Amino acid sequence: MVENRAVIPQDILTATDYQTHAKACLSSEAWQYLEAGAGKGVTLAANSTIFDDISLMPRPLRNVKGGHTHLTLFGQRFEHPLLLAPIAYQRLFHQDGETMTAVAASAQAGQMVVSSLASQTVEAIIEAAQQPLWFQLYWQGDRLRTLRLLKRALSCGYNAIMFTVDAPVKQAAITLPNHIQAVNLESPLTASALHPNQSMVFDGWMAQAPNWDDVAWLRDQIKGPFLIKGLLHLEDVEKSLELGCDGLVVSNHGGRVLDTVPSSLSVLPAIAKVVSGKACILFDSGIRSGQDAFKALALGADALMIGRPYVWGLASAGALGVAHVVRLMRDELEMTMALSGTRTLAEIKAFNTVILNQ
Protein backbone atom coordinates (compact mmCIF):
# COMPACT_ATOMS: atom_id res chain seq x y z
CA MET A 1 0.00 0.00 0.00
CA VAL A 2 1.32 3.44 -0.89
CA GLU A 3 1.11 6.31 1.54
CA ASN A 4 -2.47 7.53 1.85
CA ARG A 5 -3.11 10.88 0.26
CA ALA A 6 -4.61 13.82 2.09
CA VAL A 7 -5.94 15.72 -0.90
CA ILE A 8 -8.64 15.02 -3.47
CA PRO A 9 -7.20 14.02 -6.86
CA GLN A 10 -7.78 16.75 -9.45
CA ASP A 11 -9.38 14.54 -12.12
CA ILE A 12 -12.35 13.41 -10.01
CA LEU A 13 -15.74 14.19 -11.57
CA THR A 14 -17.83 11.26 -10.33
CA ALA A 15 -17.60 8.75 -7.48
CA THR A 16 -16.44 6.02 -9.84
CA ASP A 17 -13.44 8.16 -10.83
CA TYR A 18 -12.00 7.34 -7.40
CA GLN A 19 -11.75 3.64 -8.26
CA THR A 20 -8.48 3.89 -10.19
CA HIS A 21 -6.88 6.08 -7.52
CA ALA A 22 -7.95 3.69 -4.77
CA LYS A 23 -6.46 0.69 -6.56
CA ALA A 24 -3.13 2.51 -6.79
CA CYS A 25 -3.18 3.17 -3.04
CA LEU A 26 -3.94 -0.38 -1.90
CA SER A 27 -2.12 -3.68 -1.77
CA SER A 28 -3.34 -6.27 -4.26
CA GLU A 29 -4.74 -8.32 -1.38
CA ALA A 30 -6.76 -5.42 0.04
CA TRP A 31 -8.03 -4.48 -3.40
CA GLN A 32 -9.14 -8.04 -4.13
CA TYR A 33 -10.89 -8.25 -0.77
CA LEU A 34 -12.80 -5.03 -1.47
CA GLU A 35 -13.76 -5.69 -5.06
CA ALA A 36 -14.34 -9.45 -5.24
CA GLY A 37 -17.75 -11.07 -5.45
CA ALA A 38 -18.78 -14.62 -4.62
CA GLY A 39 -18.45 -17.37 -7.22
CA LYS A 40 -18.18 -16.09 -10.77
CA GLY A 41 -19.30 -12.61 -9.76
CA VAL A 42 -22.66 -12.86 -11.53
CA THR A 43 -24.60 -11.12 -8.78
CA LEU A 44 -21.84 -8.58 -8.24
CA ALA A 45 -22.08 -7.51 -11.88
CA ALA A 46 -25.88 -7.59 -11.98
CA ASN A 47 -26.17 -5.29 -8.95
CA SER A 48 -24.75 -2.45 -11.03
CA THR A 49 -25.82 -3.25 -14.59
CA ILE A 50 -29.51 -3.57 -13.72
CA PHE A 51 -29.65 0.18 -13.19
CA ASP A 52 -28.97 0.63 -16.91
CA ASP A 53 -32.21 -1.23 -17.66
CA ILE A 54 -34.26 1.50 -15.99
CA SER A 55 -34.98 4.72 -17.87
CA LEU A 56 -35.57 8.12 -16.33
CA MET A 57 -38.60 10.16 -17.38
CA PRO A 58 -37.69 13.86 -17.63
CA ARG A 59 -40.35 16.40 -16.64
CA PRO A 60 -39.24 19.85 -17.82
CA LEU A 61 -41.10 23.04 -16.92
CA ARG A 62 -42.12 21.84 -13.46
CA ASN A 63 -41.47 24.27 -10.62
CA VAL A 64 -38.80 22.72 -8.40
CA LYS A 65 -37.83 25.83 -6.45
CA GLY A 66 -37.14 24.98 -2.81
CA GLY A 67 -36.34 21.36 -3.60
CA HIS A 68 -34.21 19.36 -1.17
CA THR A 69 -33.07 15.85 -0.21
CA HIS A 70 -33.89 16.06 3.50
CA LEU A 71 -35.36 13.08 5.30
CA THR A 72 -36.06 11.79 8.80
CA LEU A 73 -35.29 8.21 9.81
CA PHE A 74 -36.33 7.01 13.27
CA GLY A 75 -36.51 10.55 14.57
CA GLN A 76 -33.11 11.58 13.16
CA ARG A 77 -32.99 14.26 10.47
CA PHE A 78 -30.46 13.95 7.66
CA GLU A 79 -29.63 16.25 4.77
CA HIS A 80 -29.61 13.40 2.26
CA PRO A 81 -30.53 9.68 2.01
CA LEU A 82 -27.00 8.34 1.30
CA LEU A 83 -25.96 6.27 4.31
CA LEU A 84 -22.49 4.76 4.55
CA ALA A 85 -22.85 0.99 4.63
CA PRO A 86 -21.07 -1.23 7.18
CA ILE A 87 -17.73 -2.33 5.71
CA ALA A 88 -15.26 -4.38 7.72
CA TYR A 89 -11.60 -3.75 8.50
CA GLN A 90 -11.40 -0.22 7.14
CA ARG A 91 -7.80 0.16 8.31
CA LEU A 92 -7.01 -2.07 5.32
CA PHE A 93 -7.89 0.95 3.19
CA HIS A 94 -6.62 3.86 5.27
CA GLN A 95 -4.41 3.98 8.33
CA ASP A 96 -7.09 5.84 10.29
CA GLY A 97 -9.87 3.56 9.08
CA GLU A 98 -13.38 3.89 10.41
CA THR A 99 -12.78 7.13 12.28
CA MET A 100 -12.17 8.90 8.96
CA THR A 101 -15.45 7.52 7.59
CA ALA A 102 -17.26 8.69 10.72
CA VAL A 103 -15.85 12.20 10.38
CA ALA A 104 -16.95 12.35 6.73
CA ALA A 105 -20.47 11.13 7.49
CA SER A 106 -20.88 13.87 10.08
CA ALA A 107 -19.38 16.52 7.80
CA GLN A 108 -21.95 15.68 5.15
CA ALA A 109 -24.84 15.62 7.67
CA GLY A 110 -25.45 11.95 6.99
CA GLN A 111 -25.07 8.63 8.77
CA MET A 112 -22.55 5.81 9.07
CA VAL A 113 -23.37 2.22 9.96
CA VAL A 114 -20.43 0.72 11.85
CA SER A 115 -19.57 -2.92 11.22
CA SER A 116 -19.19 -5.53 13.95
CA LEU A 117 -15.92 -6.26 12.16
CA ALA A 118 -14.61 -2.71 12.52
CA SER A 119 -10.85 -2.42 12.91
CA GLN A 120 -11.19 0.36 15.49
CA THR A 121 -13.16 0.37 18.71
CA VAL A 122 -16.81 1.34 18.65
CA GLU A 123 -15.98 3.97 21.28
CA ALA A 124 -13.27 5.65 19.17
CA ILE A 125 -15.44 5.66 16.05
CA ILE A 126 -18.45 7.32 17.66
CA GLU A 127 -16.19 9.81 19.43
CA ALA A 128 -14.77 10.84 16.05
CA ALA A 129 -18.29 11.21 14.63
CA GLN A 130 -19.48 13.52 17.40
CA GLN A 131 -23.03 12.29 16.72
CA PRO A 132 -25.04 9.10 17.30
CA LEU A 133 -24.20 6.36 14.81
CA TRP A 134 -25.87 3.10 13.79
CA PHE A 135 -24.36 -0.31 14.52
CA GLN A 136 -24.39 -3.36 12.27
CA LEU A 137 -24.61 -6.52 14.34
CA TYR A 138 -23.38 -9.97 13.37
CA TRP A 139 -24.56 -12.92 15.41
CA GLN A 140 -21.74 -13.97 17.73
CA GLY A 141 -22.46 -17.68 17.92
CA ASP A 142 -24.78 -17.57 20.94
CA ARG A 143 -27.10 -15.15 22.70
CA LEU A 144 -24.83 -14.17 25.59
CA ARG A 145 -21.91 -13.20 23.38
CA THR A 146 -24.22 -11.36 21.00
CA LEU A 147 -25.85 -9.50 23.89
CA ARG A 148 -22.48 -8.36 25.24
CA LEU A 149 -21.53 -6.85 21.90
CA LEU A 150 -24.96 -5.28 21.51
CA LYS A 151 -24.88 -3.70 24.97
CA ARG A 152 -21.40 -2.32 24.36
CA ALA A 153 -22.58 -0.53 21.22
CA LEU A 154 -25.75 0.79 22.84
CA SER A 155 -23.92 1.98 25.94
CA CYS A 156 -21.63 4.28 23.97
CA GLY A 157 -24.36 5.94 21.93
CA TYR A 158 -25.25 3.84 18.88
CA ASN A 159 -28.97 4.40 18.50
CA ALA A 160 -30.09 1.99 15.78
CA ILE A 161 -29.15 -1.66 15.32
CA MET A 162 -28.89 -3.29 11.90
CA PHE A 163 -28.83 -7.09 12.18
CA THR A 164 -27.18 -8.72 9.16
CA VAL A 165 -28.55 -12.20 8.48
CA ASP A 166 -27.35 -13.16 5.00
CA ALA A 167 -23.79 -13.99 6.11
CA PRO A 168 -24.61 -16.12 9.15
CA VAL A 169 -21.04 -16.96 10.13
CA LYS A 170 -18.79 -14.13 8.98
CA GLN A 171 -15.05 -14.63 8.63
CA ALA A 172 -12.39 -12.56 6.89
CA ALA A 173 -11.79 -13.67 3.30
CA ILE A 174 -8.27 -12.30 3.62
CA THR A 175 -5.23 -12.95 5.77
CA LEU A 176 -5.25 -9.82 7.87
CA PRO A 177 -2.04 -7.97 8.71
CA ASN A 178 -1.00 -8.37 12.34
CA HIS A 179 -2.00 -4.79 13.20
CA ILE A 180 -5.54 -5.13 11.80
CA GLN A 181 -8.28 -7.19 13.43
CA ALA A 182 -11.90 -7.08 14.52
CA VAL A 183 -11.04 -5.33 17.76
CA ASN A 184 -14.58 -5.27 19.18
CA LEU A 185 -15.12 -9.04 19.10
CA GLU A 186 -14.32 -11.74 21.59
CA SER A 187 -12.24 -14.77 20.63
CA PRO A 188 -14.07 -17.08 18.20
CA LEU A 189 -16.21 -19.85 19.63
CA THR A 190 -14.65 -23.30 19.62
CA ALA A 191 -16.61 -25.58 17.30
CA SER A 192 -18.14 -28.68 18.87
CA ALA A 193 -16.74 -32.04 17.84
CA LEU A 194 -18.75 -33.69 15.08
CA HIS A 195 -19.91 -37.29 14.95
CA PRO A 196 -18.90 -39.28 11.86
CA ASN A 197 -22.38 -38.97 10.32
CA GLN A 198 -22.66 -35.21 10.89
CA SER A 199 -22.11 -32.49 8.31
CA MET A 200 -19.42 -29.82 8.78
CA VAL A 201 -21.82 -27.34 7.16
CA PHE A 202 -25.16 -28.16 8.77
CA ASP A 203 -23.98 -29.40 12.18
CA GLY A 204 -20.76 -27.41 12.49
CA TRP A 205 -20.69 -24.07 10.67
CA MET A 206 -24.46 -23.41 10.76
CA ALA A 207 -24.86 -24.58 14.36
CA GLN A 208 -23.63 -21.12 15.38
CA ALA A 209 -25.96 -19.24 13.00
CA PRO A 210 -29.08 -17.35 14.16
CA ASN A 211 -32.69 -18.32 13.42
CA TRP A 212 -36.07 -16.64 13.64
CA ASP A 213 -36.33 -17.32 17.39
CA ASP A 214 -33.09 -15.41 17.83
CA VAL A 215 -34.47 -12.51 15.80
CA ALA A 216 -37.51 -12.38 18.09
CA TRP A 217 -35.21 -12.49 21.13
CA LEU A 218 -33.07 -9.66 19.75
CA ARG A 219 -36.14 -7.55 19.07
CA ASP A 220 -36.98 -7.86 22.78
CA GLN A 221 -33.48 -6.72 23.80
CA ILE A 222 -33.52 -3.52 21.74
CA LYS A 223 -35.72 -0.60 22.73
CA GLY A 224 -34.72 1.57 19.78
CA PRO A 225 -34.85 1.02 16.02
CA PHE A 226 -34.09 -2.52 14.88
CA LEU A 227 -33.44 -3.31 11.23
CA ILE A 228 -32.76 -6.59 9.43
CA LYS A 229 -30.29 -6.57 6.55
CA GLY A 230 -30.18 -9.22 3.85
CA LEU A 231 -33.74 -10.46 3.25
CA LEU A 232 -34.81 -10.96 -0.37
CA HIS A 233 -37.67 -13.48 -0.12
CA LEU A 234 -41.15 -12.02 0.42
CA GLU A 235 -42.11 -14.59 3.07
CA ASP A 236 -39.03 -13.61 5.08
CA VAL A 237 -40.00 -9.95 4.74
CA GLU A 238 -43.49 -10.70 6.05
CA LYS A 239 -42.04 -12.66 8.99
CA SER A 240 -39.75 -9.77 9.94
CA LEU A 241 -42.72 -7.40 9.97
CA GLU A 242 -44.67 -9.79 12.19
CA LEU A 243 -41.79 -9.73 14.68
CA GLY A 244 -41.89 -5.94 14.88
CA CYS A 245 -38.77 -4.99 12.95
CA ASP A 246 -38.60 -1.25 12.28
CA GLY A 247 -36.67 -1.44 9.04
CA LEU A 248 -35.44 -3.71 6.27
CA VAL A 249 -32.28 -3.43 4.22
CA VAL A 250 -32.86 -4.93 0.78
CA SER A 251 -29.40 -6.35 0.14
CA ASN A 252 -27.54 -9.32 -1.30
CA HIS A 253 -24.38 -8.33 0.60
CA GLY A 254 -22.90 -6.66 -2.45
CA GLY A 255 -22.75 -10.02 -4.23
CA ARG A 256 -20.15 -11.23 -1.73
CA VAL A 257 -21.89 -14.22 -0.10
CA LEU A 258 -23.98 -16.36 -2.50
CA ASP A 259 -23.61 -15.91 -6.24
CA THR A 260 -26.50 -15.83 -8.74
CA VAL A 261 -29.02 -14.56 -6.18
CA PRO A 262 -31.30 -11.78 -7.52
CA SER A 263 -29.91 -8.29 -7.79
CA SER A 264 -31.21 -6.17 -4.95
CA LEU A 265 -33.00 -3.76 -7.29
CA SER A 266 -34.92 -6.54 -9.06
CA VAL A 267 -36.72 -7.52 -5.85
CA LEU A 268 -37.13 -4.03 -4.39
CA PRO A 269 -40.54 -3.16 -5.90
CA ALA A 270 -42.17 -6.38 -4.67
CA ILE A 271 -40.70 -5.95 -1.20
CA ALA A 272 -41.88 -2.33 -1.07
CA LYS A 273 -45.38 -3.51 -1.93
CA VAL A 274 -45.37 -6.04 0.92
CA VAL A 275 -43.95 -3.55 3.43
CA SER A 276 -46.38 -0.83 2.34
CA GLY A 277 -45.23 1.71 4.91
CA LYS A 278 -45.09 -0.71 7.86
CA ALA A 279 -41.32 -0.32 8.13
CA CYS A 280 -38.49 1.74 6.71
CA ILE A 281 -36.86 0.34 3.56
CA LEU A 282 -33.16 0.86 2.93
CA PHE A 283 -31.56 -0.26 -0.31
CA ASP A 284 -28.06 -1.72 -0.57
CA SER A 285 -25.88 -3.28 -3.29
CA GLY A 286 -24.97 -1.56 -6.53
CA ILE A 287 -25.35 2.20 -5.96
CA ARG A 288 -22.63 3.95 -7.94
CA SER A 289 -24.18 7.36 -8.63
CA GLY A 290 -26.89 9.81 -7.69
CA GLN A 291 -28.92 8.57 -10.64
CA ASP A 292 -28.75 5.03 -9.24
CA ALA A 293 -29.94 6.40 -5.91
CA PHE A 294 -32.86 8.18 -7.61
CA LYS A 295 -33.94 4.96 -9.35
CA ALA A 296 -33.86 2.95 -6.12
CA LEU A 297 -35.89 5.64 -4.36
CA ALA A 298 -38.42 5.62 -7.20
CA LEU A 299 -38.82 1.84 -6.88
CA GLY A 300 -39.58 1.90 -3.17
CA ALA A 301 -36.53 2.67 -1.04
CA ASP A 302 -36.68 5.29 1.71
CA ALA A 303 -32.89 5.66 1.85
CA LEU A 304 -29.79 4.15 0.29
CA MET A 305 -26.55 2.63 1.52
CA ILE A 306 -23.38 3.12 -0.48
CA GLY A 307 -20.44 0.79 0.02
CA ARG A 308 -17.46 0.31 -2.26
CA PRO A 309 -17.52 3.88 -3.70
CA TYR A 310 -16.93 5.55 -0.35
CA VAL A 311 -14.10 3.12 0.38
CA TRP A 312 -12.50 4.20 -2.92
CA GLY A 313 -12.67 7.73 -1.55
CA LEU A 314 -11.31 6.63 1.82
CA ALA A 315 -8.31 4.89 0.25
CA SER A 316 -7.61 7.84 -2.05
CA ALA A 317 -8.00 10.82 0.28
CA GLY A 318 -9.18 9.76 3.74
CA ALA A 319 -12.11 11.63 5.25
CA LEU A 320 -11.96 14.23 2.46
CA GLY A 321 -12.39 11.49 -0.12
CA VAL A 322 -15.35 9.90 1.64
CA ALA A 323 -17.06 13.26 2.07
CA HIS A 324 -16.40 14.11 -1.57
CA VAL A 325 -17.97 10.83 -2.76
CA VAL A 326 -21.10 11.59 -0.74
CA ARG A 327 -21.23 15.17 -2.02
CA LEU A 328 -20.82 14.08 -5.65
CA MET A 329 -23.61 11.53 -5.33
CA ARG A 330 -25.85 14.00 -3.56
CA ASP A 331 -25.28 16.59 -6.30
CA GLU A 332 -26.14 13.98 -8.94
CA LEU A 333 -29.27 13.03 -7.03
CA GLU A 334 -30.38 16.65 -6.79
CA MET A 335 -29.75 17.22 -10.50
CA THR A 336 -31.69 14.08 -11.40
CA MET A 337 -34.56 15.17 -9.16
CA ALA A 338 -34.63 18.63 -10.73
CA LEU A 339 -34.64 17.33 -14.30
CA SER A 340 -37.35 14.82 -13.37
CA GLY A 341 -39.54 17.54 -11.88
CA THR A 342 -39.37 16.31 -8.29
CA ARG A 343 -38.63 18.58 -5.35
CA THR A 344 -38.57 16.05 -2.52
CA LEU A 345 -37.79 12.39 -1.93
CA ALA A 346 -41.50 11.72 -1.45
CA GLU A 347 -42.27 13.13 -4.89
CA ILE A 348 -39.81 10.70 -6.46
CA LYS A 349 -42.13 7.88 -5.39
CA ALA A 350 -45.37 9.76 -6.05
CA PHE A 351 -44.60 10.68 -9.66
CA ASN A 352 -43.94 8.29 -12.54
CA THR A 353 -40.24 9.10 -12.68
CA VAL A 354 -38.77 5.85 -14.03
CA ILE A 355 -39.61 3.29 -16.70
CA LEU A 356 -38.77 -0.39 -16.28
CA ASN A 357 -37.43 -1.50 -19.66
CA GLN A 358 -38.50 -4.97 -20.70
Identify which of 121, 130, 180, 182 has the alpha carbon closest to the alpha carbon of residue 152. 121
pLDDT of residue 5: 66
When pLDDT is cut at 50, 70 and 90, the band that residue 4 belongs to is low
Please, what are the domains in the chain?
15-186+208-356 (3.20.20.70)
Phi, psi of 189 (to 5 degrees): -65, 145
pLDDT of residue 191: 66
Dihedral over alpha carbons 269, 111, 167, 146 (to 10 degrees): -130
User: Is 68 noted as a catalytic residue in this protein?
Assistant: no
pLDDT in tens, 24-83: 999 999 999 999 888 999 999 999 999 999 999 999 999 999 999 999 999 999 999 999
pTM of the predicted structure, to 2 decimals: 0.94
Lowest mean pLDDT: which of 4-13, 77-86, 187-196, 303-312?
A: 187-196
Does the pLDDT value for residue 306 go beyond 90? yes
pLDDT in tens, 104-159: 999 999 999 999 999 999 999 999 999 999 999 999 989 999 999 999 999 999 99
Does the pLDDT value for residue 248 go beyond 70? yes
Distance CA 162, CA 84 (A): 13
Q: Which of 21, 80, 253, 324 is catalytic?
A: 253
Distance CA 174, CA 132 (A): 30
Helices 290-298 & 308-339 angle (0-180, nearest 10): 70
Cα-only R_g, the chain: 20
C-alpha distances in Å from residue 329, one per residue of 166, 264, 290, 306: 27, 19, 4, 10
What is the DSSP code (8-state) at residue 280?
Answer: E
